[in-house]
Chains A and B, each alone.
Chain A
Amino acid sequence: MKAREMDRSGLVLAAGSAGLAVYVVWEAQRFSPLASVFPRFIAIVLIVAAAALTLLIFLGRQKPPKSGTGSNARRLALVVSMVAWLALVPVAGFLVASLLGFAAVGMVAKYDDWSVRRWLSFALATVISVGLFCFIFSQLLNVPLPKGLLPL
């Protein structure tokens, strides 16, 4: 008979929750009594829940979550693209950063080979989507989009 798999990620979650709860209790010491009641209460609930989760895992009553499928490299590439996108905004401005970011995320999500026509369609879709929404937000909704340092 196959032994039941232990929920290791649950143990990490329980340890992290307990650590967070201890930090909250420690931090709450410098709050006024009124402002510290709720944080302390939540921290206590979190510690109790973490202990209960640990116990359930060791008793074998906690199933591990389903492991995800798909490419972790693409997941990482998406996160890196979005971080770079945001980092670029103060420098290149929202419009330029978004054009580059949109294209980068599009490349991360691209799976099949593209013809020249498909590439042109993608470029057109990028420019139209980004341009249209930037226009709507900045001109119609009066949202001041960052202009960046570039002399545009």
Chain B
Amino acid sequence: MILEHLAASLSVANLLLALAGVTAGTVIGALPGLTATMAIAVLTPLTFTLEPSSALIALGAIYTGGIYGGCYAAILINTPGTPSSIATTLDGFPMAKRGDGDLALTLAVLASVFGGIVGALALLFISPLLAKVALAFGPVEYFWLAILGLTLVAALSEGSLIKGLIGCCFGLLIALVGTAIVGGDTRFVFGTTTLLGGVDVIVGLIGLFCIPVLIDLVATPEAHLKMSSDVRGFRLKEALSIAWKSKWNMLRSSALGTIIGILPAAGGPVASLIAYAEARRASKRPQNFGKGEPDGLIASESANNATVGGGLIPTLTLGIPGTPADAIILGALLVHGVRIGPNLFSNQSSIVYTFMFGLIIATIMMLPVGLILGRYFYRSIIAIPKAILAPGIAFLTILGTYAVHNNIYEVWLMLGLGGVGWILQKMGVPPAPIVLGLVLGPIAEQGFVQAWLIGNATGNVLGMFFGRPISIAIICVALLVLFYPAITARFARRVPDEGA
């Protein structure tokens, strides 16, 4: 029975759709400002004339390609192409700066394919079981999950923890701008209506990461990236060797990505940040993280692509989309007459299982597509003269930011944030902790306020925050992330620095 669905997904038409979808998604995801969600939203109408299973395979391929494509801009120009690749910039760009950009891109595609397959296999085999996990998460669990993510500030602070903490607070304050999630107050809008909707994460990402790079790019005649002169090709053998050594990291990050992907509204950015924090905690070389450590890149990329399958679990089994992209896929499913719910797997199994196999095939196809496109992007960034590269990046930042909400004021905001980000960087505050606060702030605030309200209503605020099993587990992990390096430093001898 299952083999029939596998055979159906392997039809020539489906394979071509998966290939085209992955390629289109990767290219769109690579452009700063254009997200996987936008790629799916734009291309969904093209699938309405297709068979339901073929249409879903195309959408799944676009989604997985879009999430992966974000790593190109993250690695090559220090700007996350999509919010899911925030953590990829932390080690990907330093790798590219030292001449290992091609290796970083190959590692990224290997990790993305692995993570994508783990997520898709979870979707295929243990969907109903994992859907229960999503239902067990309440506001307080989301709050602690955000706190767990915020503990990453210690890893992102590049030398001064206090300055990293200040940067994180700036990010949290930026996230407060606009209409309050709970209560509806307007906060820090300075009397304008343009800030009522708040500061979009993508606007913040482009401004804080890309503009400082651009400002420093034009200041010197030196090349943007180094290129290793002695190595040619994809460096696949070297990447496979590193990936094999990092297999547990990849498996752990993929599992984390799948589980966090299941949680509505958490998604790729949270998954990649938490997987990065966990990889750093478990690493024998935590001091190398943020300086071009392949394990950091692998953790981020495997986790964010695992959220694709993870996010589809509550979408298909409960009708609860985990991310905006899942919501669009849910809409497409309904347009094609697929009824979501617990009976989906028995009543319309042929469509669903063909789609799941198609997603796995699309993820596998990402390997050749990613290797070829990655090499092309890398060579282009290296070969393009600075007089074209700098205005090209400037143009894409403006166009990409404008395209988020078709709003020119957001482009001004992006530029302003970029200027402030550059000044803060010169003061020793890196952009990553600011973005960490910006991404996790709304999740933390909403979870905290809702949990506090429920706790008050039930007369047990402390029990609400500290008495639930999942919360206790997350608190323990957060404490472990914070204090594990200090504890192990006391009791164990660290391995000496190894060149990555």
The smallest beta-carbon distance between A130 and chain B, in angstroms, is: 6
A residues 45-61 touching B (CB-CB < 8 Å): 45-46, 49-50, 52-53, 56
Decide if A115 is an interface residue (CB 8 Å cutoff). Answer: no
B residues 379-424 touching A (CB-CB < 8 Å): 386-392, 394-396, 398-399, 402-403, 406, 408, 411-412, 415, 419, 424
Decide if A120 is an interface residue (CB 8 Å cutoff). Answer: no
| Interface size bracket, B side | 35 or more
A10–B387 touching, CB < 8 Å: no
B188–A27 touching, CB < 8 Å: yes
B396 contact set on A, CB distance < 8 A: 133
Q: Which residue of A lies closest to B392 (CB)?
A: A129
The smallest beta-carbon distance between A72 and chain B, in angstroms, is: 7
Q: Give the secondary structure class of B's interface.
A: helix
Decide if A24 is an interface residue (CB 8 Å cutoff). Answer: yes
| A38-B445 CB under 8 A given contacts A17-B169, A31-B187, A52-B162 | yes
In the docked arrangement, what's the CA distance between A101 and B162, Å? 38
Q: Give the secondary structure class of A's interface.
A: helix
In the docked arrangement, what's the CA distance between A109 and B386, Å? 6
B216 contact set on A, CB distance < 8 A: 68, 70, 75
In the docked arrangement, what's the CA distance between A12 and B169, Å? 16
A137–B399 touching, CB < 8 Å: yes
A141–B163 touching, CB < 8 Å: no
B398 contact set on A, CB distance < 8 A: 82, 85-86, 98, 101
Q: Which residue of A lies closest to B404 (CB)?
A: A143
B403–A49 touching, CB < 8 Å: no
B-contact 0/1 string along A1-38, CB 8 Å cutoff: 00000010110110001001000100100011011011
Q: Which residue of A lies closest to B422 (CB)?
A: A75
B219–A68 touching, CB < 8 Å: yes
In the docked arrangement, what's the CA distance between A95 and B298, Å? 39
B183 contact set on A, CB distance < 8 A: 31-32, 34-35
In the docked arrangement, what's the CA distance between A28 and B57, Å? 49
B395–A101 touching, CB < 8 Å: yes
In the docked arrangement, what's the CA distance between A131 and B83, Å? 27
A65 contact set on B, CB distance < 8 A: 159, 426-428
The smallest beta-carbon distance between A10 and chain B, in angstroms, is: 7
In the docked arrangement, what's the CA distance between A112 and B387, Å? 10
**Which of A49, A140, A143 is in CB contact (< 8 Å) with B402?**
A143
Q: Which residue of B lies closest to A105 (CB)?
A: B391
A residues 69-112 touching B (CB-CB < 8 Å): 69-72, 74-75, 77-79, 82-83, 85-86, 89-90, 94, 98, 101-112
B-contact 0/1 string along A115-143, CB 8 Å cutoff: 00000001001100110011001001111
| A13-B429 CB under 8 A given contacts A35-B182, A78-B214, A90-B408 | yes
Q: Which residue of A lies closest to B159 (CB)?
A: A63
In the docked arrangement, what's the CA distance between A28 and B185, Å? 10
Q: Which residue of B lies closest to A110 (CB)?
A: B387
B180 contact set on A, CB distance < 8 A: 31, 34-35
A53–B415 touching, CB < 8 Å: no
A104 contact set on B, CB distance < 8 A: 391
The smallest beta-carbon distance between B104 and chain A, in angstroms, is: 24
In the docked arrangement, what's the CA distance between A100 and B203, Å? 23
The smallest beta-carbon distance between A73 and chain B, in angstroms, is: 9
A122–B395 touching, CB < 8 Å: no
The smallest beta-carbon distance between B427 and chain A, in angstroms, is: 4
| A130-B395 CB under 8 A given contacts A46-B169, A62-B160 | yes
The smallest beta-carbon distance between A89 and chain B, in angstroms, is: 6
| A126-B162 CB under 8 A given contacts A27-B188, A34-B182, A86-B398 | no
The smallest beta-carbon distance between B181 and chain A, in angstroms, is: 9
In the docked arrangement, what's the CA distance between A108 and B214, Å? 11
A86 contact set on B, CB distance < 8 A: 398, 408, 411-412, 415
A52 contact set on B, CB distance < 8 A: 162
Decide if B215 is an interface residue (CB 8 Å cutoff). Answer: yes
In the docked arrangement, what's the CA distance between A65 and B426, Å? 7
B403 contact set on A, CB distance < 8 A: 137, 141, 143
A-contact 0/1 string along B169-198, CB 8 Å cutoff: 110110010001011110110000000000
In the docked arrangement, what's the CA distance between A133 and B412, Å? 20
| A17-B166 CB under 8 A given contacts A35-B185, A65-B428, A110-B387 | yes
B221 contact set on A, CB distance < 8 A: 111-112
**Which of B163, B220, B391, B445 is in CB contact (< 8 Å) with A10?**
B163
A-contact 0/1 string along B16-54, CB 8 Å cutoff: 000000000000000000100010001000000000000
Decide if B218 is an interface residue (CB 8 Å cutoff). Answer: yes
**Which of B38, B163, B173 is in CB contact (< 8 Å) with A24?**
B173
The smallest beta-carbon distance between B497 and chain A, in angstroms, is: 20
Decide if B448 is an interface residue (CB 8 Å cutoff). Answer: yes
The smallest beta-carbon distance between A28 and chain B, in angstroms, is: 8
In the docked arrangement, what's the CA distance between A74 and B215, Å? 8
B328 contact set on A, CB distance < 8 A: none
The smallest beta-carbon distance between A113 and chain B, in angstroms, is: 12
| A75-B219 CB under 8 A given contacts A85-B398, A130-B395, A143-B403 | yes
B445–A13 touching, CB < 8 Å: no
Decide if B165 is an interface residue (CB 8 Å cutoff). Answer: yes
In the docked arrangement, what's the CA distance between A103 and B448, Å? 49
7 A-B pairs closest in CB distance: A70-B219, A109-B390, A65-B428, A105-B391, A35-B185, A111-B221, A35-B180
Give 6 CB contacts A-B under 8 Å: A65-B159, A72-B219, A86-B398, A86-B408, A130-B395, A143-B406
Given contacts A109-B389, A141-B403, A142-B42, list 12 more A-B pairs with CB under 8 A: A20-B170, A35-B184, A45-B165, A50-B166, A78-B215, A82-B394, A86-B408, A102-B392, A108-B218, A108-B390, A129-B388, A134-B399
